[in-house]
Amino acid sequence: MTTERDNRVSVIIANRNDLQMLLVTVLSAVEELQGRGEVVVVDNSDEALRPCVRALLSGQIKDGTVRLFEQDRPSSAAAMERAAREATGEYLFYTDSHTMIGKDTITALLRFFRRHEGEPIAFVHAPIQWAHNSRSARKLSFRLHRNPLGSWGKMPDRECRITWKGMPHMIRKEVYEAIGGYGCLAANYVGWGGLIPYLGIKPWLLGYENWGTPYGVSYHFGEYPKCCRDTVKYRVYAAHGDHPAGASHAVAAYVCGGEEFLRECWASAQMGRYFPDVEQALAFARQIGESERQWLLAHQKRTIFDLLENPPWGKDF
């Protein structure tokens, strides 16, 4: 019989100016955990909104269900990394502040890990139901080099290996630490743009696998209608820290594949929107990502080119 300790989960949430859905998301996590874990929220909101977030979560904080931390400098990657560092669970389940966790989603992912005990699995992605028609959602196809890293719009109908790391996901904390966490993307505040493709590639290079499952479901509540934008303090960043969000694509490509891969990704990832030429993108990526690139070279089991030419995830994704 599996004990509570065996099942302990930390639901980690990075929040940015989200007062409408945060409490709903947190309460759905509390309901789904059934006492098996904790919710860790890192609030990356504008300073004026933080008292509102504290007030919203005050009841959950008081009873010990939720632990709340605040982070000043804008970066969703850094907020998620902080939440992962603060988490005490054996498993980390990441969802964002506007994605309600459906019944049995966490339970199903725990069962998946038990069935695959001892296998080199990193991220396991749960299905997501888009509860809106979002312009940003329609862009969630990551085209790097010759192979797509997947789209959140295509959901697996069976357990299968996938190329990407999506949201929501679960990972063992020890594996998260073994792959170096969110790495230079979080440490240098380059933001959200390259985080998902970067963490899709990195586990495969290090000998781990990403999986998708058809089990459980979560509900993503997206952007407000255009007519509401002027009256709602929306959750997006005008810029992720000091750099445009898309700059992290350059860093991700350089860290995972070096200069050659960044050059090959230049056109497909549309980095020209962020840099005047590829040489400046390369200089920027080197400055931020060189130390992690060297770390990855020392640890990886495959090259990015081998991975893309001989994909171990099959042809479905």
Q: What does the pLDDT look like over 73-102, one tens digit per residue?
A: 878 888 889 999 999 999 999 998 888 999
Residues 198/200/201/206 CA torsion (nearest 10 deg): 110
**What pTM value is reported for the model?**
0.88
Q: Output the pLDDT for position 181.
A: 92
Average pLDDT of the chain to the nearest whole number? 82
Q: What angle do CA 251, 252, 253 make, to 5 degrees?
A: 95
Q: Which residues have CB under 8 Å from 245's CB, separation 6+?
A: 190, 191, 192, 193, 237, 239
Contact 51, 77 (CB under 8 A): no
Query: What tens digit of pLDDT does each residue of 105-123 get?
Result: 999 999 999 999 999 999 9
Q: Is the peptide bond before 168 cis (omega within 30 degrees of 0)?
A: yes
Fill in the amino acid letter for 35: G
Task: Tell which CATH classification among 3.90.550.10, 3.30.1540.10, 3.40.50.1970, 1.10.510.10 matches the domain 9-238.
Answer: 3.90.550.10
Burial classification of residue 292, based on how many CB atoms lie within 10 Å of its CB (0-12 exposed, 13-18 middle, 19 or more buried): buried
Instruction: Please determine, for residue 313, whether its predicted confidence score (pLDDT) is greater than 70.
Output: yes
